[in-house]
Structure 1
Amino acid sequence: MLQRFFIFCSGADTQILETCSNGERNKYVGIGATVFFTAVMAFIASGYALYTVFDNIYTAVFFGFIWGLLIFNLDRYIVSTIKKRDHFKSELLQAAPRIVLAIIIAVVISKPLEMKIFEKEINQVLLEEKNAMTLANQEQIALQYTPKVDAINQEISHLKNEIAAKESETNALYDVYISEAEGTAGTGLLGKGPVYKEKREKHDAYLAELRQLKETNGQKIQALEAQIIALGTDYQTAVTDSQPIIDGFDGLMARINALGKLPWFPSFFIFLLFLAIETAPIIAKLLAPKGEYDYKFEEQESVVATWVTQKVAQRKLLMSTDGAVNEQVYADIKNEQELYRYKKEKAEELLRLQADSFHNVQMKGL
């Protein structure tokens, strides 16, 4: 049962192969097994690759199975159509398109396995990239809020400077009227005279203005600081909202790029492994010596080709002979007087009928 299945996988003619020796059948069992297991490896690799894309095992298994069937059918077809010839170059020329395709397929299906083998290293590379992206994202979002915060801080500084300046002026007036009362400055008279009262009133007026300025600017500063807090909240919200996008940066393309940043030597040998697996059916057929099955298959093809060639030649000869006979028959008929008279009578009768019909049409029109 298993032998028949692998023979089916090889694409060989079972009727011819049944008449061959056991050794010849075993050769095609090996070729069929190579075709089958190549398709199985293609199914596994493509299934994992699709799982990294869709993140759904059922979708990955379904499309991976379709891909495996495609590779199986392609290998079976190419192996069955490669004919053993007396020259290896002609056989290699037949297999050249499949070898090129095998290189492409090997690149495609080797990547998922490489990503699985080097998963930890890839995760480390992705983690570093995510951290860098997070910092870059925070800096980029901060560019939207930093100018606003700086402008608000400058306005707060201006308001505080106004208070400080007013406070300095008030303190200076305080020192003036105290010095006047002590007699150490101004009029030099000790006591609270008229000059003292004037300077004291001026200080008190500045002090009232200072208190009013502190209250007014304090309210403005509180409002501006609330704006800064609101901007900080908006910034944190923007960073939080964009972080899931960065956290989800681990798709197939991201992993392939991360794999490309790892040393190439191990990946290259995995690629060579899959290239060998993909080309195994073709190589097995090319390396297999020309055996009993190939001679019988070639004989069968020769019989069919000869039979078709004979049929085509017979049809051409029949057509040329039939044409020559028809020419001879019509040449003989051409000389028959009785046939001439009969056709002349029929032609005269047809002309009379046409003339009568034309006359009737003209009469109806008058």
Structure 2
Amino acid sequence: MIKKFFILCSGADRDILATCSNGEQNKFAGIGATVFFTALLAWISASYALYTVFDNLFTSIFFGSIWGLLIFNLDRFIVGTLRKRKSKINEVLQALPRFLLAIIIAIVISKPLELKIYQKEIDAVLQEERNSKLMANKDQVTAYFQKDRDALTTEIDLLKKEVKTKEEEVNQLYNTYITEAEGTSGTGKLGKGPVYEEKREKHDAALAELQTLKTTNAEKILQKENEITALNNALEKQLLESSPIVSNFDGLMARINALNKLPWIPVLFITLLFLTIETAPVLIKLLASKGEYDFKLADNEEARATWMSQKSYQRKKQLETDQSLNDKIYEDLKQDEELYQKKRKTAMEIANLQAEAFYKQQKSVL
């Protein structure tokens, strides 16, 4: 039962192969087994690749099965259409496009399985890339808000500097009127004279202005600090929203790119393994000597070609004979008087009818 199934997978003519020796049947059963297991690997490979995309087991298995059947059909076609020729050069030329197609299929099949085999190494590369992207994203988002925060901080510093300048002015006026009262500066007279009162009034006015400025600037500083707090909250929100996007940097393309960053020699060995598996049926049929099945298949195809050629020749001769007979018959009819008179009578009736119809048409016009 298994042998029959693998022979079916090989794409060979089972009716012809049934008349061949057991060794010939085993050869094609081996070729069919290679085709089957290649398709099985293709199904596993595609299912895993699609699982990384859809993250759904049943969807991945369904579409992976379709891909596996497609690869099975292609491999079966490639092997089944190879024919043994009289010249090895003709066989190579015949097998070359099929061999190239087998190489492409092997590369496509091997890639997802390579992703699974080197999953831990790929995860490490992806983690490094995610960390780099998170840092870059944080720097980018922070730079976006930094300009506004720096502007608000500068405004706060200016408001504080304005208050400090006013305080220095008030302190200077205070020292001025105190030293005036002590007689150590200004007029040099001890006591609270008119100059003292004038300087005291300037100090008191500046002090009142300082109190007003402190109140006003404190409100402005509080407003600016609230704006900075809002910007910081917006920054944190933006980072929280963008971090999951970077953290989910784990798709099929990302994994393929991470695989390409690994040492290429171990990855190449896996690819070569699948190349060997996929191209094995083609190479086996190409390198194997012409067997019993090939002789019988060639004889069968030659018999069909001969039969089709005979049928074509017979149809051609039948057509030539029929044409010759028809030419002779119509040539004899030209000399038949009875047929001539009948044709003449019919033509005269048609001519009379046409003349009457023309007369009626002209009369209606007039």
Short-chain TM bin: over 0.9
SS in 2 for 1:4: helix
1:69 equivalenced with 2:66 (yes/no): no
Q: Which has the higher mean CA deviation after the structures are superposed, 118-127 or 315-324?
A: 118-127
Report if the CA contact (8 A) 1:49-1:109 is conserved: no
Structure-2 separation of matches of 1:221 and 1:347:
118
Structure-2 separation of matches of 1:354 and 1:203:
134
Aligned in 2, Cα 1:154/1:342: closer, same or farther, shift over 3 Å? closer
**Equivalence for 2:176:** 176
1:192 is displaced (CA, Å) by 3.4
1:169 is displaced (CA, Å) by 1.2
Q: After the TM superposition, which residues 81-92 of structure 1 pair with which residues of structure 2 at under 5 Å, given as runs? A: 81-92=81-92
| Unmatched 5+ stretches in structure 1 | none
1:107 equivalenced with 2:107 (yes/no): yes
**Equivalence for 2:324:** 324
**Equivalence for 1:32:** 32
1:353 is displaced (CA, Å) by 4.3
Partner amino acid for 1:235? Answer: L
Q: After the TM superposition, which residues 81-230 of structure 1 pair with which residues of structure 2 at under 5 Å, given as runs? A: 81-230=81-230
Aligned in 2, Cα 1:248/1:362: closer, same or farther, shift over 3 Å? same
Structure-2 separation of matches of 1:116 and 1:181:
92
Structure-2 separation of matches of 1:189 and 1:345:
163
Q: Deviations over 1:212-239 (max 9, x none)?
A: 2111111111111111111111111111
1:253 is displaced (CA, Å) by 0.8
1:312 equivalenced with 2:312 (yes/no): yes
Aligned in 2, Cα 1:218/1:344: closer, same or farther, shift over 3 Å? closer
Aligned in 2, Cα 1:348/1:192: closer, same or farther, shift over 3 Å? closer
Partner amino acid for 1:147? Answer: K
Structure-1 separation of matches of 2:243 and 2:342:
103
Q: TM-score, normalised by structure 2?
A: 0.94
SS in 1 for 2:304: helix
1:356 is displaced (CA, Å) by 4.6
1:269 equivalenced with 2:298 (yes/no): no
Partner amino acid for 2:72? Answer: F
Structure-1 separation of matches of 2:258 and 2:148:
38
Structure-2 separation of matches of 1:115 and 1:360:
92
SS in 1 for 2:84: coil
1:348 is displaced (CA, Å) by 3.3
1:360 is displaced (CA, Å) by 5.6
Q: After the TM superposition, which residues 11-50 of structure 1 pair with which residues of structure 2 at under 5 Å, given as runs? A: 11-50=11-50
Structure-2 separation of matches of 1:151 and 1:71:
63
C-alpha RMSD of the superposition: 1.9
1:8 is displaced (CA, Å) by 0.7
Structure-2 separation of matches of 1:191 and 1:117:
98
Q: Which has the higher mean CA deviation after the structures are superposed, 62-71 or 325-334?
A: 325-334
1:46 is displaced (CA, Å) by 1.1
Report if the CA contact (8 A) 2:71-2:105 is conserved: no
Structure-1 separation of matches of 2:346 and 2:163:
133
SS in 1 for 2:289: coil
1:159 is displaced (CA, Å) by 1.1
1:197 is displaced (CA, Å) by 3.2
1:361 is displaced (CA, Å) by 5.7
**Equivalence for 2:338:** 338
Aligned in 2, Cα 1:365/1:211: closer, same or farther, shift over 3 Å? closer
Over the matched positions of the two proteins, sequence identity in percent amounts to 58
Aligned in 2, Cα 1:180/1:340: closer, same or farther, shift over 3 Å? closer
Structure-2 separation of matches of 1:206 and 1:352:
134
Structure-2 separation of matches of 1:305 and 1:69:
33
Partner amino acid for 1:115? Answer: L
Structure-1 separation of matches of 2:196 and 2:357:
148
Q: TM-score, normalised by structure 1?
A: 0.94
1:283 equivalenced with 2:283 (yes/no): yes
Q: Which has the higher mean CA deviation after the structures are superposed, 83-92 or 223-232?
A: 83-92
Partner amino acid for 2:106? Answer: A
Q: Which has the higher mean CA deviation after the structures are superposed, 70-79 or 109-118?
A: 109-118
Partner amino acid for 1:261? Answer: K
Report if the CA contact (8 A) 1:39-1:71 is conserved: yes
Partner amino acid for 2:52? Answer: T
1:111 is displaced (CA, Å) by 1.7
Q: Which has the higher mean CA deviation after the structures are superposed, 273-282 or 185-194?
A: 185-194
1:19 is displaced (CA, Å) by 1.2
1:37 is displaced (CA, Å) by 0.7
Partner amino acid for 2:300? Answer: Q
Structure-1 separation of matches of 2:154 and 2:232:
17
| Unmatched 5+ stretches in structure 2 | none
Partner amino acid for 2:222? Answer: Q
